[in-house]
Amino acid sequence: MKTDFTRQEAQDYLSAMRVDNDLVRLVDPIARNVLTDDGGPRENEICHSVWGHCDRCENCTSLRALRSGERAYKLETLNENTYWVCSRFLRIDGQPFVAELVCDVTNRLIMDSNQRDQIGRLINSYNQMLITDSLTGVYNRRFLDEHFIPSLKCCHEDSISVNLAFIDMDGFKVINDRYGHRAGDRLLRDVAGFWKLHFNSRERGKERLVIRYGGDEILVIACGIPLEKFSEEIRHYDGEMRKICYLSDKIQFTFDFTFGITSSEAFPPDWTWDGLIEAADRKMYQRKGAKLPEAAPGGSEDRTNGQE
């Protein structure tokens, strides 16, 4: 697949694609802007507004194409019409962009009437799977990278605070070694599920999210509230959680985790996500280092009554 174009080649390509497609446009999916055919800015035209969305599409194929350097596809619906969308990565004079090719397939997509609902459910299920961690049921790293982080541009523009708690399990490897990986999986499900009960909203500007960042690391995010209130909530729920994992009738063990909290309030106006995550991670390790040495799970507080 050709990816490198001069400005004239890009204009010629997009013009040719308009012959067979209903909508062809060049976009910058990071800024969410629609561009001119030579990559120049086009004022006040947001890419997702064409679909009637006030925010970024939940599964943005253009952002995926930009990150992968390839193509990405999806079916999109609007006003009872169905559209086939192809997002194609390309570089114009060395600068990365995405070409969106949209074709109305409402009357050309052949399927039985009863299959339309089935395919719709399948697509919705698949889209949800892409952004959800299969083990814990909370959002995954792909959601963080492709949806939440790009949306931070709006937080900058509207001066919306972003608060972050970086949670890391204590002695997670010891738990896996002693009780097996099934115990570690159960523990992660329990902890992620607990935080999701209290942080689970996609309301614009007031998001409350739980994300499995990787391994035994979990992020809790809340937007649009003061850092003091967020810190109070994290500490309240940390104290409220009953930290016993019930692996079976015979095996139950205590656990704990360490968290580090930060907020965009503590940063200059040009703060970045990397700065937030690094600060929260650093504070988490400072708290972990300040903890007294703990007995490995299975010590005096372990509630194991026998072997499974």
Expressed as residue numbers, the domain containing 260 is 134-290
One-letter amino acid for residue 140 of the chain: N
- Identify whether 216 is a catalytic site residue: yes
Q: Do residues 146 and 246 both lie within one domain?
A: yes
Report if residue 300 sits inside a domain. Answer: no
Q: Do residues 92 and 210 both lie within one domain?
A: no
Q: Do residues 91 and 179 both lie within one domain?
A: no
Residue 180 is classified by DSSP as -
Q: Do residues 107 and 241 both lie within one domain?
A: no
CATH number at 184 reads 3.30.70.270
Question: Where does the pLDDT of residue 225 fall: very low under 50, low under 70, confident under 90, or very high at 90 and above?
Answer: very high
Q: Which of 143, 258, 245, 141 is nearest to 193 (CA)?
A: 245
Lookup: tokens for 277: 């995550």
Q: Do residues 195 and 123 both lie within one domain?
A: no
Q: Considering the candidates 168, 185, 216, 274, report the single residue annotated as catalytic.
A: 216
Q: Which of 169, 182, 256, 183 is nearest to 214 (CA)?
A: 169
Report if residue 306 sits inside a domain. Answer: no
Report if residue 307 sits inside a domain. Answer: no
Summarize pLDDT for 84-111 with one digit per residue, the tens: 899 999 999 999 999 999 998 877 766 6
Summarize pLDDT for 14-33 with one digit per residue, the tens: 999 999 899 999 998 888 88
CATH number at 63 reads 3.30.450
pLDDT of the residue at 122 = 63
Q: Do residues 9 and 124 both lie within one domain?
A: yes
Provide the domain count of the chain: 2
Asked if 294 contacts 178 with a C-beta cutoff of 8 angstroms, the reply is: no
Phi-psi region of 224 (alpha: psi -120 to 50; beta: other; left: phi over 0): left
Q: Do residues 142 and 257 both lie within one domain?
A: yes
- What is the percent of the chain where pLDDT is above 70? 85
Tokens 């988490």 locate to 284
Residue 236 is classified by DSSP as H
Three-class SS state of 275? helix
Three-class SS state of 301? coil
Q: Do residues 142 and 124 both lie within one domain?
A: no
Pick the last residue of a domain from 113, 130, 147. Answer: 130
Question: Where does the pLDDT of residue 154 fall: very low under 50, low under 70, confident under 90, or very high at 90 and above?
Answer: confident
pLDDT top residue among 249 and 236:
236
Q: Do residues 139 and 284 both lie within one domain?
A: yes
| Partners of 84 in beta bridges | 75, 103
Whether 261 shows a pLDDT value over 80: the answer reads yes
Pick the last residue of a domain from 92, 110, 130. Answer: 130
Contact residues for 211 (Cβ-Cβ < 8 A; gap 6+): 138, 139, 140, 141, 143, 144, 148, 218, 219, 221
Q: Do residues 139 and 125 both lie within one domain?
A: no
Q: Do residues 117 and 190 both lie within one domain?
A: no
Tell me whether residue 239 is exposed, middle or buried, using C-beta atoms within 10 angstroms of its C-beta: 0 to 12, 13 to 18, 19 or more: exposed
Report if residue 301 sits inside a domain. Answer: no
pLDDT top residue among 122 and 248:
248
Whether 155 shows a pLDDT value over 80: the answer reads yes
